[in-house]
Structure 1
Amino acid sequence: MARTKEFDPDVALGRALNLFWRRGYEATSMADLVEHLGIGRASLYATFGGKHDLYVKALERYAQMCDPNLVEMLSQPGPALPAVRALVERYTEDSIRDPDRRGCMVVNAATELMPDDEPVARLVEASWTSLETALTSALIRARAQGEISADADPRALARFVLVFLQGLRVMGKSRGDPARIRDAAAHALAMLR
């Protein structure tokens, strides 16, 4: 007879996500996971596989939580440019106000594990492609509605915004002067007119 799990795998995955997000992949040991999740090592392995498997599942969960919200934000009917500008402002404030300096788990995964970790690279690229596609769509609508210049290249502009947003997340991990981030964001927002 199979034993029933004495823990909720969904809750455990959420707790693992938070630990990996806060500490990173390399700085989180299996012993840390066992202690933080309150689950025996054998149960962890049986449910999630090894540490890397659990990390990939946590990163997938993070992307599933965040990516649809961004796409929805950029897909609202009406003027498109205000949504793009609001996204830049949101990333700016999130980067400055993150008291734990966790940053974005996708960006953290990219800077810690890419380019050699194929499963992580696929997830990071999928997340970035999703955001780039949503930005491109919004900027195509903005151009069609006369919100940006008729000769603007929505895809190139979307790529600029994507790279800028990821850079904001990296800069937000520092305890440096928030004016650096705000000044850069103001300049990027000025380009989105």
Structure 2
Amino acid sequence: MIDLAMNAYWREGPAEVSLNSICQRAGVAKPSLYREFGDEDGLTAAVLQAYADAVLSQVLRIVTGPESFDQKVEDLIRYASEDALSDNGCLYVKMQAATHRFGEKTQALIAAIDAGAEEAYAALLTDARRTGHAPESIPTRLGARYMMSQITLALVLRAAGEEPLLVRDLLTLALSVFPSDKQDRH
């Protein structure tokens, strides 16, 4: 049920898929869904958690991994612009954009994922400062939010059907505010 709901929400958008539709696709009655998840909020929270475990964890591994800053940026660009998982955009981004439509459990999970991502990106930029990749003039939290926003925009563009090469070029340009090892740092 969770995989079916996750794929439906991801492909069609969470606002476009009703609980009735999920039940029909799964071949279950609403009472069965309520027994398993408590309510629709329980289902959407379970779906978002499954998505976080399956997909967002890959992004977190890129951000927190041992690779160089340049490699992490390249891997993030590749993920957002070229990875097949990004063809439908990002379910988390879609759910975040519609936070007000969800119940307390799902809203709390969206907030927790957002806070965790911001912490990871802030740590990335703190480390990047030590190697000269993040200018001191960019406050850490602002830089973290900026990176997250640019990746979010790339995923929104992918979901809208933009060409991956254009998305890659736009994201590369947006993240060029962080110097690479190849750029001259005078």
TM-score normalised per structure 2: 0.79
Deviations 1:26-61 (A, max 9, x none): 332333222322323332221122333212221122
Amino acid at match of 1:167: L
In structure 2, the residue matched to 1:5 is none
Distance 1:182 1:169 in 2: 10
Q: Which is further off, 104-113 or 20-29?
A: 20-29
The change in CA–CA distance for 1:78 and 1:61 in structure 2 (over 3 A counts) is closer
In structure 1, the residue matched to 2:171 is 185
Shift of residue 63, structure 1, vs aligned partner:
1.7
In structure 1, the residue matched to 2:182 is none
TM-score normalised per structure 1: 0.77
Unaligned runs of 5+ in 2: 180-186
Distance 1:124 1:71 in 2: 15
Amino acid at match of 2:46: K
Larger radius of gyration: 1
In structure 2, the residue matched to 1:54 is 43
RMSD of the TM alignment (CA)?
2.7
Unaligned runs of 5+ in 1: 1-11
Shift of residue 15, structure 1, vs aligned partner:
1.9
C-alpha contact 1:95 1:171 (8 A) present in aligned 2: no
In structure 1, the residue matched to 2:160 is 174
Shift of residue 96, structure 1, vs aligned partner:
9.9
The change in CA–CA distance for 1:66 and 1:31 in structure 2 (over 3 A counts) is same
The change in CA–CA distance for 1:125 and 1:88 in structure 2 (over 3 A counts) is farther
Higher helix share: 2
Counterparts of 1:12-161 in structure 2 under 5 Å? 12-94=1-83, 98=87, 102-114=88-100, 117-161=103-147
